[in-house]
A and B are shown apart, each in its own frame.
Chain A
Amino acid sequence: EVQLVESGGGLVKPGGSLKLACAASGFTFKNAWMSWVRQAPGKGLEWVGRIKSYADGETTDYAGPVRDRFFISRTDSRNTVYLQMGSLKTEDTAVYYCVTNTIEAFFEFWGQGSLVTVSS
């Protein structure tokens, strides 16, 4: 059974930083592309970014609103993917989901989400 468990969410002040982690199990993590998708309270889904597998160069890509502020990394030995968020803005307040990214725009398995609140 595939499991994705996010951790690290919480309350942070505008301009601050926060790092989310997602522990994966139930599939061959090292071969998987992984994405982060967020959902602001009462709003729709928004793709945040993606990291490809080691075999595909661990290439990262990001959505415009977070580019140069958010960074995704992975540690295959720990079956974990990370989302480092910096220069946080109130509009970054959302539930952040860790998802498997089988091919482009194909998000097969989702974590339960981690709430990040950016507020003074």
Chain B
Amino acid sequence: QSALTQPASVSGSPGQSVTISCIGTNSDIGTYDLVSWYQQHPGKAPKLLISEVTKRPSGVSGRFSGSKSGNTASLTISGLQPEDEADYYCCSYAGGRTFVVFGGGTKLTVL
């Protein structure tokens, strides 16, 4: 069981928007603005999409955005494209002796 809870799957049609939630606790997401999101295509290494809740690295499409409210972080993908079909993982700093926790991953299907 992962420390952060994500839906196992989400889906959307091309051009639509989807939001992936990531539920944590007061010990991680609720305390630290150190949430990141990663995209992973089959057989490939993960790719950073969002850092520090909302920051988008250079080269990442503006269609990806992050937010946080309380113990829940969210990744929104707007204007869905076929190449967005992938697994998405959230991650948060958790301090203490845990340090870093990941979500279990969400499989995005573009219908």
Contacts and interface: CB of A to CB of B under 8 A. Distances in A.
Interface of A: 35, 37, 44-47, 50, 61, 63-64, 97, 102-113
A112 B100 CA distance: 21
Contact of B89 (A35, A45, A64): A45
Interface residues of B, number: 27
B105 A45 contact: yes
Contact of B99 (A47, A106, A110): A47
Contacts of A64: 97-98
Nearest to B105: A44
Contacts, number: 68
Q: Is the interface of A mostly helix, strand, loop or mixed?
A: strand
Interface of B: 2, 32, 34-36, 38, 40, 45-48, 51-52, 57, 89, 91-93, 97-105
A110 B46 contact: yes
A105 B55 CA distance: 13
B45 A97 contact: yes
Given A104-B93, A105-B91, A105-B92, A47 B45 contact: no
Given A64-B97, A105-B34, A105-B35, A44 B47 contact: no
Contact of B51 (A50, A63, A106, A113): A106
Nearest to B103: A44
Contact of B48 (A35, A108, A112): A108
Given A97-B45, A97-B46, A107 B91 contact: yes
Contact of B93 (A105, A108, A111): A105
B65 to A, nearest CB: 17
B108 to A, nearest CB: 14
Given A44-B2, A45-B89, A107-B91, A61 B99 contact: yes
A109 B102 CA distance: 17
A107 B34 contact: no
B45 A112 contact: yes
